Chains A and B, each alone.
Chain A
Amino acid sequence: MISKEFIRGTIKTIVLKLLSENKRMYGYEINQRVKEISKNEIQLTYGALYPVLHKLEADGYLITESEIVENRVRKYYSLTKSGNEMAKEKISELVKFNEVLKNFLLPLPKTSLEVWGI
């Protein structure tokens, strides 16, 4: 399982990415999708998602609509126009970060002298 430390920095982007691919989603659904796609590697603690969702909403990146489903209210989130742009930006940032990280994790290339065996 991926440690919380890494999830904390990327959860916002993950949420934006999921919402950019789905017209609207509710909290539980997002949670399940994250689990599914990450093959259980990313397990959000209960409710860890909601502070992020509320912040994105307050910043104007998400709008919500509520519907009554089987005796209870279900709140759906979808991206606003600025949310869409934010999603693109954050996703490309994360892709870039991923690339940079890869370079760090590769074994360091040997300097020329070492290659020559000196």
Chain B
Amino acid sequence: MTKDQIESVEDYLNKSGLTYEQLQSELLDHLVCDIEYKMEQGNKFEQAWEEVKTQVPKKEVKNIQNETMEVLQKRINSTKVTAAFSAFLLFASTGFKLMHWPGANELILIALFMFSISLVMGVRRNYRLSPTRKGTGLLIVVTSLVVVFIASIVLKIINYPLGTEVVNLGSVISLSLLLPLISLYFYKAGSKVQDHSIVQIIGQNRTYIERSLLILIGSGVLYKILDMIWLEGLPLFMMPTIFILIIVLTGLYQFSLTWIEYTGESSEEDRTSKLYLLIFSSMAIILFLFPTVSGIVSPDVKWASVTMSYLILSGIVITYYLKYSQDKQRYLMSIVGVLCVVFIIMNNVLRVGWLGTDIHGFVLGNVYSFSVLIGLVFVLLFFYKKPVFRVYMMLILSYYMFTYITVY
């Protein structure tokens, strides 16, 4: 076969979304062998290639890659062990708190430390497995910023006096600037940077990231329930900061999903809708991160900022289901989305106290709190198979926790 002919086969593989280089060369060799075999039997190249192509539609190529990545990632590795250990510590600390044993707070600190390590290990491991290793610098910058951000929260928890505010302010400002800029970059570059290592790593590890977030959210929910049932009156020293961590990590993850969106194949019409996504999600992430700066603005401004960001995010999700999604349950999900908006607004109205102190007390009381929690968990489980809505509900659940930060 000529070089050109081989290149056309390679092009086909590239276009089917095959990015894992190791597999790419192998499948190319396989396909070419098959074509050559058919050509030896007297077929012309074009004919032979068409025949082989029917056996491997583009979807199948992507399937092979997914299966390969899956078996490679299924293996137990040090990243998973570290992550599992940090999750264990997180839940163990709940147990400690419940038994009134000392050391619950220290356990959470160690858990967060292990969590950061597993994050770095995971990124490194995936980067090594990743075929193109494109965008190394950006990957390192983003990972370190997230780690610094977690560290600043840890520093806050232990009330470390020196430089905590600076680290906190620095990481928040850099994230607020950098994240929208990265979005802009991915939006501009479009499908050309489909194989960028950040996009690849997030795309291929969605299950694991979401599982970790769910564990974090689960621990938050558990604390909240324990607080309502057993620990009445006992202050949970670090829970507000843990809640902030959960909220921000979930938010960052949801934001990073838009990058995958920008780098997907798109038509002219898609580009316009993606531009709106870029504008609104950037606004949301800035409003979202802004309140994590400690001590600069008043609690009311923080509340307003976070609430706005959740309203914008809800708007994005609802618009997606009404306008773009083909899902059979899209209207149902839109309605739930609207209910979430009502929930967010209600919380604010009640918090400001416009409806009188009785209702204010009721909202902060256990009955309302518990029902809302159960409701949100139920909705999350009910729509668990819908990727967009699942992440949105995870976010709303973390918003639920936000409601209680200022209460303590």
Binding site for B on A (CB under 8 A): 26-28, 31, 45-48, 50-52, 54-55, 58-59, 66, 69-75
Contact = CB atoms under 8 A, between A and B. Distances in A.
Nearest to A46: B56
Interface residues of B, number: 26
A19 to B, nearest CB: 15
B72 A72 contact: no
B75 A27 contact: no
B227 interface: no
Contacts of A28: 29-30, 33-34
A70 B27 CA distance: 15
B268 interface: no
A72 B60 contact: no
Contacts of A46: 30, 55-56, 60, 64
A41 B1 CA distance: 30
B344 interface: no
Interface of B: 1, 3, 6, 22-23, 25-30, 32-34, 55-56, 60-61, 63-64, 67-68, 70-72, 75
Contacts of B64: 46-48, 50-51
Nearest to A47: B64
Contact of A58 (B1, B25, B32, B72): B72
A47 B33 CA distance: 13
Secondary structure at the A interface, as helix, strand, loop or mixed, is mixed
B30 A47 contact: yes
A47 B25 contact: no
Given A27-B30, A71-B1, A54 B68 contact: yes
B282 to A, nearest CB: 38
Contacts of B75: 55, 58-59
B67 A71 contact: no
Contacts of A72: 6, 25, 28-29, 32
A47 B56 contact: yes
A30 B33 CA distance: 12
B160 to A, nearest CB: 41
